[in-house]
């Protein structure tokens, strides 16, 4: 009888422990699911423990017991769904949905890792391990990274500037392209020259540079009058007459620096004639140290603009001006007319995406960019011109 009671007692203990584990797993999954939807709606910087606890009906101590803090929650979300996201972004899929919740949320997490060392230490290994396992060989690996870079650029920009979705047409050209990539040599080009920030009425070069410095390292939410004053070594009282709202200042800085970058790039473009080697230089050079602050600033502004209408309005105007300038220059190349706008968009999406991949530890310089570009041009020639050699030529007026 005694042994029966003991056995029954132990059985009940195991059942209670099993139920606790089950409840714990359900609670954890519920928090992760809420985090995914909250990031998609409000951004990484917009989620809070109190908000998640209220929405889930759980207590704050329950959240702490599972994740410790918001960084822990985001890290667990990446560990849970990160590999799925990498495959969605890098693999050929005609049904890829740039608006899907997992795609938008984890793209923002991925872009966030460049300024969060605790997140980067788990994002980078999983990214590299998954890509090397699923896309072996330099051709397949390079094509997968081109697809992923373009999709990152589209997903990050589409909420602010919907016209960028047309860049998704690249997917069609990249399908099975690795069999046509014969030049596997990496690019040996150096970084692009630094962007020369001009003086403009109302915003000094020093203010623009200070805003870039703060935002690229801490995000738009990290910018404050006090911090800006400290960087400039002036009082916040000195700044207030000149600066009335920070989102507006960030948007203005974005326009100023992007306009300056476009002018410098177009001048360089004329020299390089945007041959396959020339475009490879833009890709590799854009992730160099000379442009890193600008690229990270642009990434942070695009993330924030997706959740801030005031900032989004400024960024939209800037992107439209960027596209007009690039379209005029692209029209001077012997591309089919219907591709001119898409090629201009790809200049944005690819450079944006490769910067993010570089920040996560991908050696962008080692990819077969020239080989991919030549294979793409071959596809364009076959589709629009007929079978034959493809080359991008520049009209005499631009030489």
- Where do the structural domains in the chain lie, given as residue ranges? 2-128, 138-398
**pLDDT value of residue 335:** 67
Contact 208, 250 (CB under 8 A): no
Checking if the pLDDT of 155 tops 90, the result is: yes
Checking if the pLDDT of 78 tops 90, the result is: yes
Please tell me which residue, 342 or 387, carries the higher pLDDT value.
Answer: 342
Contact 205, 198 (CB under 8 A): yes
Question: Across the chain, what does the average pLDDT equal?
Answer: 85
Of 198, 212, 201, whose CA–CA distance to 242 is shortest? 201
Domain 2-128 matching CATH 1.10.357.10: the answer reads yes
Of 147, 123, 124, 153, whose CA–CA distance to 135 is shortest? 147
Checking if the pLDDT of 391 tops 80, the result is: no
Task: Give the Å distances, CA to CA, from 370 to 80, 143, 376.
Answer: 35, 11, 10
Max Cα–Cα distance, the chain, nearest Å: 101
C-alpha to C-alpha distance for 181 and 164, rounded to whole angstroms? 26
Please tell me which residue, 63 or 4, carries the higher pLDDT value.
Answer: 63
161 burial via Cβ count (<10 Å: 0-12, 13-18, 19+): buried
C-alpha to C-alpha distance for 66 and 70, rounded to whole angstroms? 11
Q: Which two tokens stand for residue 52?
A: 């998640």
Concatenating the DSSP letter of every residue in 53-93 gives: HHHHT--HHHHHHHHSSHHHHHHHHHHHHHHHHHHHHHS--
Which range, of 56-65, 177-186, 206-215, 334-343, averages the lowest pLDDT?
A: 334-343
pLDDT tens-digit readout, 261-285? 999 888 887 776 667 777 888 888 8
CATH code reported for the domain at 138-398: 1.10.357.10
> Strand, helix or coil at 333?
strand
Checking if the pLDDT of 373 tops 80, the result is: yes
Q: How confident is the model at residue 24 (pLDDT cuts 50, 70, 90)?
A: low
Which range, of 243-252, 270-279, 389-398, averages the lowest pLDDT?
A: 389-398
Checking if the pLDDT of 7 tops 60, the result is: no
How large is the average pLDDT for residues 359-371?
92
**pLDDT value of residue 273:** 66
Task: Give the Å distances, CA to CA, from 106 to 43, 121, 124, 154, 299.
Answer: 10, 16, 13, 14, 14
Domain 2-128 matches domain 138-398 at the CATH topology level: yes
**pLDDT value of residue 215:** 96
User: What is the phi/psi pair of residue 138, to 5°?
Assistant: -60, -35
**pLDDT value of residue 17:** 46
Please tell me which residue, 10 or 53, carries the higher pLDDT value.
Answer: 53
How large is the average pLDDT for residues 199-206?
86
Of 117, 113, 141, whose CA–CA distance to 364 is shortest? 141
């Amino acid at each position: 009888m005694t042994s029966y009671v003991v056995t029954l007692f132990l059985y009940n203990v195991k059942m209670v422990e099993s139920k606790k584990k089950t409840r714990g797993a359900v609670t954890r999954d519920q928090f992760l699911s809420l985090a995914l939807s909250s990031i998609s709606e409000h951004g990484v910087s917009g989620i809070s423990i109190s908000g998640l606890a209220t929405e889930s009906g759980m207590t704050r101590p329950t959240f702490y017991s599972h994740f410790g803090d918001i960084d822990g929650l985001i890290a667990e979300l990446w560990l849970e769904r990160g590999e799925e996201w990498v495959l969605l972004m890098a693999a050929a899929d005609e049904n890829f949905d740039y608006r899907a919740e997992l795609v938008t949320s984890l793209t923002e997490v991925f872009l966030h890792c460049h300024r969060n060392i605790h997140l980067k230490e788990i994002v980078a290994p999983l990214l590299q391990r998954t890509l090397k396992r699923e896309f072996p060989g330099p051709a397949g690996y390079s094509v997968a990274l081109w697809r992923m870079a373009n999709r990152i650029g589209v997903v990050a920009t589409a909420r602010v500037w919907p016209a960028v979705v047309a860049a998704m047409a690249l997917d069609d050209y990249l399908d099975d392209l690795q069999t046509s990539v014969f030049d596997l040599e990496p690019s040996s080009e150096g970084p692009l020259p630094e962007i020369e920030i001009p003086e403009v009425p109302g915003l000094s070069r020093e203010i623009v540079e200070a805003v870039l410095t703060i935002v690229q390292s801490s995000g738009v939410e990290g910018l404050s009058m006090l911090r800006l004053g400290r960087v400039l070594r002036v009082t916040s009282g000195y700044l207030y007459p000149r600066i009335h709202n920070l989102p507006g200042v960030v948007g203005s800085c974005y326009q100023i620096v992007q306009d300056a970058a476009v002018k410098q790039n177009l001048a360089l473009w004329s020299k390089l004639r945007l041959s396959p080697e020339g475009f490879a230089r833009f890709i590799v050079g854009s992730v160099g140290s000379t442009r890193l602050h600008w690229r990270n600033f642009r990434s942070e502004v695009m993330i924030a603009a997706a959740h801030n209408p005031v900032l989004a309005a400024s960024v939209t105007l800037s992107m439209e001006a960027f596209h007009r300038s690039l379209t005029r220059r692209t029209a001077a190349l012997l591309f089919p007319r219907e591709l001119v706008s898409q090629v201009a968009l790809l200049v944005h999406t690819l450079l944006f995406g490769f910067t993010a991949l570089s920040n996560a530890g991908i050696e962008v310089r080692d990819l077969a960019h020239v080989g991919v570009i030549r294979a793409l041009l071959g596809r364009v020639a076959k589709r629009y011109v007929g079978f034959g050699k493809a080359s991008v030529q520049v009209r005499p007026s631009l030489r």
